[in-house]
Homo-oligomer: A and B are copies of this chain.
């Protein structure tokens, strides 16, 4: 409803009431405006009705929804099933262009806005979560592992001779596969035991770089989010080494946005040394369905290079999910979740310390005792529980 339509409405309904209604609409427009102008996650969450109205507005900006085209065969963005059209809010064009997954599309201003805003709002959240100096990021509709693969494939073009990836060991299948799929040889660096914790063996990393030759190494592939007794990699030291030897550094930060500790490590690493990109999962960090990731970095042109490596347009579905979720939580809602996670962590840590030898134990790959009870992965008495799955104090 624009001004003219509100005017016409006064023919039917008392002008004063219509004006009150127009005021109601104005409040929605102002919210939208703040989002469009600042590109930040709104402090307070939006209600569902504002979000849906916004998505409807985006959809009618896409050419497949232009009225003249309805039902008359616009060849792009045609959808056979009404169920499918509706569940995507009629945003059908996907994101990006064949040349660049972050690019705008000529015929889909609405989908393009969705893509830009999502990346912008997510960037804001990454800053808010602790990596203040991040400059660029984009949502990609692929798993974290596949996104790491894309990073490695991008680096190949910069380091054509490199064959190896230096990788402080972390026992997660898809991390390992991300390197194999990209066609590189992972060079596993075993961790060292310090007290209760398994930590990065910095000396071994440096020794390996020297022995292989820096030019033969594609990158160092480090990890922040992991399970005890494995603790996050020593990102600062690794970043310094990478800077010294001029080797790229890709960080697997899978579940780390929600952890102030992981985010702090990345921020510090980038401050004192070199981090080229850090990659995180959408589902666990933002409580959306499985299937998306965020690739972020400190150098705009490198992040853009990665986004240009994806051949073809991509699904907008994960972007849509994360945008809806962040608009509905608001920055304050997201901060609240971060806070709750911290409390969970402390609570469960205490719990484990008191649980004593009653807990069932099985030997994990990493060579340390850890407990698996149904869906819960917990640690034995005395060891430090680093990472508690998101917001799950209650299941413990």
Contact = CB atoms under 8 A, between A and B. Distances in A.
Interface of A: 1-2, 4-5, 8-9, 11-14, 16-18, 20-25, 27-29, 31-33, 36-37, 39, 47-53, 56-57, 59-63, 65-68, 70-84, 86-88, 90-94, 98-99, 104-110, 112-113, 116-117, 120, 141-146, 148-150, 153, 156-157, 172-175, 177-178, 180-183, 283, 286-292, 309-318, 321, 324-325, 328-329, 337, 375-376, 389-395
B289 A79 contact: yes
Given A116-B13, A178-B311, A291-B317, A173 B98 contact: yes
Contact of A31 (B32, B67, B113, B175): B67
A87 B390 CA distance: 23
Contact of A316 (B57, B70, B182, B289): B289
A20 B310 CA distance: 27
A10 to B, nearest CB: 9
B33 A8 contact: yes
A36 B92 contact: no
B21 A75 contact: no
Given A12-B113, A177-B98, A316 B288 contact: no
A89 B395 CA distance: 24
A331 to B, nearest CB: 14
* Secondary structure type dominating chain A contacts: helix
22 contacts: A1-B29, A4-B29, A13-B112, A17-B104, A18-B113, A21-B60, A53-B57, A75-B392, A78-B287, A80-B288, A81-B324, A88-B289, A91-B289, A92-B289, A94-B283, A99-B177, A153-B183, A157-B183, A174-B311, A181-B310, A291-B314, A317-B318
Nearest to A79: B287
A34 to B, nearest CB: 9
A141 B62 contact: no
Contacts of A22: 61
A51 to B, nearest CB: 6
Contact of A80 (B113, B328, B395): B328
B144 A141 contact: no
B24 A67 contact: yes
Contact of A56 (B56, B144, B174, B317): B56
Given A27-B66, A84-B289, 17 more contacts: A1-B61, A13-B113, A20-B61, A21-B60, A21-B110, A47-B71, A53-B57, A79-B287, A79-B325, A80-B288, A80-B325, A81-B321, A93-B290, A94-B289, A177-B309, A181-B311, A291-B313
B75 A288 contact: no
B50 A67 contact: yes
A270 to B, nearest CB: 25
B51 A83 contact: yes
A37 B11 contact: yes
A119 B375 CA distance: 28
B172 A98 contact: yes
B11 A36 contact: yes
A156 B75 CA distance: 37
Contacts of A14: 104, 106, 112
B325 A81 contact: yes
Contacts of A27: 66-68
A122 to B, nearest CB: 14
Contacts of A312: 142-146, 174, 177-178
A83 B46 CA distance: 12
B18 A109 contact: yes
